[in-house]
Amino acid sequence: MIVTYVLQRNSRYVALKILVSKLLGSTTELRTLRHITEVAPVEGTRYITQLLDEFEHHGPNGVHQGLGFEPMGSSVNTMVEELIYDVSGKNAALGMAETTPTP
């Protein structure tokens, strides 16, 4: 499961990946991500999604490993703004009345 949330202390979006409890191989993934973060040259980091943070979530189904990454795409707000702009532009091109949806 991957969700996006705002990291309050830095006021930026991050992507979260929550691993299934007791998932085999999850330690290998985390070890690999840590290694990449440590050894990736600064100029190469734009080609690799960086692991920003890791945490444990204690839930009713066990302990889940959580990973925080840089988001790989636009935020929901940006996508809504682009959709509104796109719809408005198409309506204008077709000579239709302005019916801009609001988020």
Tell me which of 3.40.50.300, 3.30.200.20, 3.40.1410.10, 3.20.10.10 is the CATH number of domain 2-72: 3.30.200.20
pLDDT tens for 31-66 read: 888 888 788 767 666 677 788 888 888 888 888 888
The model's pTM is 0.56
Model confidence band, residue 3 (pLDDT cutoffs 50, 70, 90): very low
Handedness of CA 10, 16, 21, 22 (dihedral sign): negative
Helix (H, G, I), strand (E, B) or coil at 31: helix
Q: Where do the DSSP E strands lie in the chain?
A: 2-7, 12-18, 51-59, 62-69
Residue 47: the pLDDT is 73
Residue 79: the pLDDT is 74
Delimit the domains of the chain by residue range. 2-72, 73-103
Between 59 and 25, the higher pLDDT residue = 59
| Mean pLDDT, rounded, of the chain | 72
